[in-house]
Amino acid sequence: MRAIEWDGKEFKLLDQTRLPQTIEYIKTGDYRVIVEAIKRLSVRGAPAIGIAAAFALAFASKKIVSSSRSTFLNELDRIASEIESARPTAVNLRWAVQRMMKRAGSIQKVSGIPEAMLHEAERIRLEDIQMCKQIGLHGAQLLPDSGGVITHCNTGALATGDYGTAQSVIVTAIEQGKKLHVYAGETRPLLQGARLTMFELEARGVNATLITDNTAAFVMKQGKANLIITGADRIAANGDTANKIGTYGLAVLANYHSIPFYVAAPTSTIDPDCPDGSAIPIEERNPGEVTHPFDVQIAPDNVDVYSPAFDITPHHLITAFITEHGVVSPPFKDNFKKQTDPGKVNQPV
Ligand code: MRU
């Protein structure tokens, strides 16, 4: 099941807020509806947000009425900023919007811009699908022939164009015959692990057990898990990584229990403009998501709440990254650069 579908005529977003109970699509060609869907997490997961943003900008370009190229591009730029500010942490959103603006700027005739942008958005979607497939193949080599794997949040097809990031690695390894058992953290407060990861793993026939987030330490202590693998929302140039809140705690625990901690992400999630994790903006969510999850009140009225959606895992707690080009070992800063050097593409470093 894909988060985003486009057949050249109809654009559909699977409304992930309604999973797993209800499968319902948002069909739209209106960029404002897509921005709203990103804000309310109907579409979520760093690569999927980037793809949705690219289509949003392409659809917006169709509605701009101006034959003046500079007026057209100024209006497009204003809308691009609006789309970019929908969620602050996942850099794929900015990456996709900037790539779309570059494409628009490369077209001389205003009348040709919307079509070129729609093609670019589709290219971003298809490239993401290929990147995720490659991530799965590269990462599967790192996984043992049998054992337990802890993962966090949702990193499956629902978070990307298809296949997923960390989940692509796990599923590819299982398809290669490895006997793995997945422990999926429920992922408070919005339960992406319980609602989405368990939904996807079950559909793919993967042996998986749902754990509350605070059970992970005991699972490691009991020797049930041999490694942890997560996705990422933004990776700083030195390897510090923003991912769903709770990821940092898992990395500390992996270090304590001497088990590897891997991060799987496409290179569109690496932000060379962020030197380290302190420069990554962290989204804070509405307190109501904690006090009234899924419309059930679980805390007294008006309590103070702190709800960062993401945390930063320092690079020294990460064993290796897996991108579409291969496995990246420390020192990450130098090795990310080597991987993105066109001459070194597809070379593990
Ligand atoms: O708030 P979300 O659901 O968008 O958070 C998603 C995550 O943190 C994922 O782990 C991350 O985007 C990487 S998955 C491809």
Query: pLDDT tens, 295-308?
Result: 999 999 999 999 99
89-120: pLDDT as tens digits: 999 999 999 999 999 999 999 999 999 999 99
Question: 270 C-alpha to center of ligand 1: Å?
Answer: 14
306-336: pLDDT as tens digits: 999 999 999 999 999 999 999 999 999 999 9
Sheet with 146-151, strands from edge to edge, namely 208-211, 179-185, 146-151, 227-230, 261-264, 320-323, 326-328
Residues in a beta bridge with 242 = 234, 312
Atom 5 of ligand 1, nearest CA residue: 45
Hey, do 4-132 and 134-339 end up sharing a CATH topology, with the first three levels equal?
no
With a cut of 80, say whether residue 342 has pLDDT above it: no
Q: Which residues are catalytic?
A: 233
Question: Does the beta carbon of 37 lie inside 6 Å of ligand 1?
Answer: no
Question: Does the beta carbon of 244 lie inside 6 Å of ligand 1?
Answer: yes
Residues in a beta bridge with 234 = 242
Helix (H, G, I), strand (E, B) or coil at 211: strand
% of the chain residues with pLDDT over 70: 97
Atom 9 of ligand 1, nearest CA residue: 45
153-197: pLDDT as tens digits: 999 999 999 999 999 999 999 999 999 999 999 999 999 999 999
Question: 230 C-alpha to center of ligand 1: Å?
Answer: 9
Section 147-156 average pLDDT: 98
15-53: pLDDT as tens digits: 999 999 999 999 999 999 999 999 999 999 999 999 999
53-97: pLDDT as tens digits: 999 999 999 999 999 999 999 999 999 999 999 999 999 999 999
pTM listed for this prediction: 0.95
Section 187-215 average pLDDT: 98
Of ligand 1's listed atoms, the one at least distance from the Cα of 155 is 14
Question: 115 C-alpha to center of ligand 1: Å?
Answer: 30
Q: How many CB atoms lie within 10 A of CB 342?
A: 5
Pairing relation of β-strands 326-328 and 320-323? antiparallel
Contact between 48 and 14 under an 8 Å Cβ cutoff? The reply is no
3-state helix, strand, coil in the chain (%, to 5): 45, 15, 35
Question: Distance (Å, rounded) from C-alpha 76 to C-alpha 61?
Answer: 6
Pocket test for ligand 1, best of 191, 243, 285 (most atoms within 8 A of CB): 243
With a cut of 60, say whether residue 345 has pLDDT above it: no
342 phi/psi in degrees, rounded to 5? -55, -30
Question: Does the beta carbon of 185 lie inside 6 Å of ligand 1?
Answer: no
* Residue-level pLDDT at 340: 65
**H and E: helices and strands count for the chain:** 11, 14
CATH topology of domain 134-339: Rossmann fold (3.40.50)
* Residue-level pLDDT at 339: 74
Instruction: Locate the domains of the chain by residue range.
Output: 4-132, 134-339
Question: 167 C-alpha to center of ligand 1: Å?
Answer: 12
- Residue 102's alpha-carbon distances to 106, 285, 345, in angstroms, are 6, 31, 23
Question: 326 C-alpha to center of ligand 1: Å?
Answer: 21
Question: Distance (Å, rounded) from C-alpha 127 to C-alpha 18?
Answer: 27
DSSP string, 154-175: --SGGGSSSS-SHHHHHHHHHH
Contact between 241 and 310 under an 8 Å Cβ cutoff? The reply is no
* Residue-level pLDDT at 338: 82
* Residue-level pLDDT at 341: 59
Pocket test for ligand 1, best of 13, 128, 153, 162 (most atoms within 8 A of CB): 153
Q: Residue 344's pLDDT band (boundaries 50, 70, 90)?
A: very low
Q: Residue 227's pLDDT band (boundaries 50, 70, 90)?
A: very high
CATH topology of domain 4-132: Four Helix Bundle (Hemerythrin (Met), subunit A) (1.20.120)
The secondary structure element, H or E, covering residue 47 is helix 46-63
Atom 15 of ligand 1, nearest CA residue: 155
Total residue count of the chain as it appears in this document: 349
Atom 8 of ligand 1, nearest CA residue: 244
Question: 68 C-alpha to center of ligand 1: Å?
Answer: 39
Atom 14 of ligand 1, nearest CA residue: 155
Question: Does the beta carbon of 313 lie inside 6 Å of ligand 1?
Answer: no
The pair of structure tokens assigned to 314 is: 């320092």
247-295: pLDDT as tens digits: 999 999 999 999 999 999 999 999 999 999 999 999 999 999 999 999 9
Of ligand 1's listed atoms, the one at least distance from the Cα of 232 is 13
